[in-house]
Amino acid sequence: MSNSLHIVVCAGIVPDPLQTLEPLATPTGPGLKNEMVLPAVLDPWAASALYEAAALAAKNPGSKLWLVALGPKAKLQQVMMTVAQKVAFELVPVDGPIGGFPDAHATAAALSSAIESIAGLDHTKLLLFGGWESASRGAGVTLQLIGERLGIVDQFFGVDEISLREDGSFEVLERVEGGKHQVSKCAGTPAVLGWATGNLAEPRNNPQVGMANMRTIMPALQKAQTAKLDANSLSYVSVNLPRQQRETRVEKNMTPDEIAAELVDWLGKDF
């Protein structure tokens, strides 16, 4: 028996992690220096969710996949030139501010409203995916809040795997302490899954997939609704980058053992 699913992935965009990120004060609150012009990518945590969602949809014929993304639509369009080549989906863009500083409640309200406006979305088949964490300043609560607003009470976070059964129930592996997973069984959809990294590699770019996606993405971007997020509900006392974590280095030629050994050394250091 096939379980056709309606999977909605919530994903923001963040600056490419190799970029220089420097917090600064803007008239509308904290921001990152030159963020609008920095190359952006789909938030890597949410990107994992998207790839898992696409794989799940492919395994369950009749399933549909939407990507709901909030950000400046011009910036979203740029990011789509890569993301749209990865997997097939329909984009539901929400034109809004860039950066991770808006209030999570306001963001959740805008995103849940966008999800509710999706024509043909069947809430009984709904799996709401997103990142468990975020590469931007994430409060770590946005996905939960969207789930609450949509009335979805089964929520799983730090997810690395979902196994769907024929009866529509599923098993979820969530990360817990010590590198272990907690195994949960859920009777069925709807559910919220905040993904950790999952198990899938990033799909390769395929412009043909991209061209097919673009037929719906470009009109959707043109019609994107603007979300005005309340900027006054939060005030920031201080904004700093975690300095040690910004020691960026690209290593594509080290073996996993070498990388692990270096990480262990690093963890043992006093900062």
Residues that bind other proteins (CB under 8 A): 16, 18-20, 22-26, 30, 33-34, 36-39, 72-75, 78, 81-82, 84-85, 204-208, 210-211, 214, 218, 236-240, 246, 248-254
CA 48 to chain centre: 7
* DSSP code, position 247: -
Alpha helices in the chain (DSSP H): 44-59, 73-83, 104-116, 142-149, 207-222, 256-267
Query: What are the φ/ψ torsions at residue 156 (nearest 5 degrees)?
Result: -130, 140
Report in angstroms how near the CB of residue 246 gets to other proteins at its nearest: 7
Judged by beta carbon, residue 3 or residue 19, the one nearer other proteins is 19
Tokens at 20, concatenated = 């220089």
Q: Which is nearer to other proteins, 27 or 151 (CB)?
A: 27
80 vs 111, which CB is nearer to other proteins? 80
Handedness of CA 176, 180, 183, 188 (dihedral sign): positive
Least Å from the CB of residue 11 to other proteins: 17
Q: Which is nearer to other proteins, 99 or 210 (CB)?
A: 210
Q: Find out whether 112 and 150 touch, Cβ atoms under 8 Å.
A: yes
CA 219 to chain CA centroid, Å, is 22
Task: Say how far apart CA 28 and CA 95 lie, in whole Å.
Answer: 17
Nearest CB to other proteins, comparing residues 119 and 237? 237
Side-chain-side CA neighbours of 60 within 13 Å: the count stands at 25
Q: Which pair of tokens denotes residue 118? A: 């999706």
If the CB atoms of residues 121 and 218 are measured against other proteins, the closer one turns out to be 218
What phi and psi values does residue 11 have, to the nearest 5 degrees? -145, 130
Nearer to other proteins (CB atom), residue 38 or residue 231: 38
Find the shortest distance in angstroms from Cβ 145 to other proteins: 27
DSSP reduced 3-state for 79: helix
Q: At its nearest, how many Å lie between other proteins and the CB of residue 240? A: 4
The candidate with the shortest Cα–Cα distance to 79, out of 98, 62, 60, 61, is 98
Q: Whole-number minimum distance, CB 99 to other proteins, in Å?
A: 13
CB of 33 to other proteins, least distance (A): 7
Quote the least distance from Cβ 136 to other proteins, whole Å: 16
Tokens of 156: 């799983």
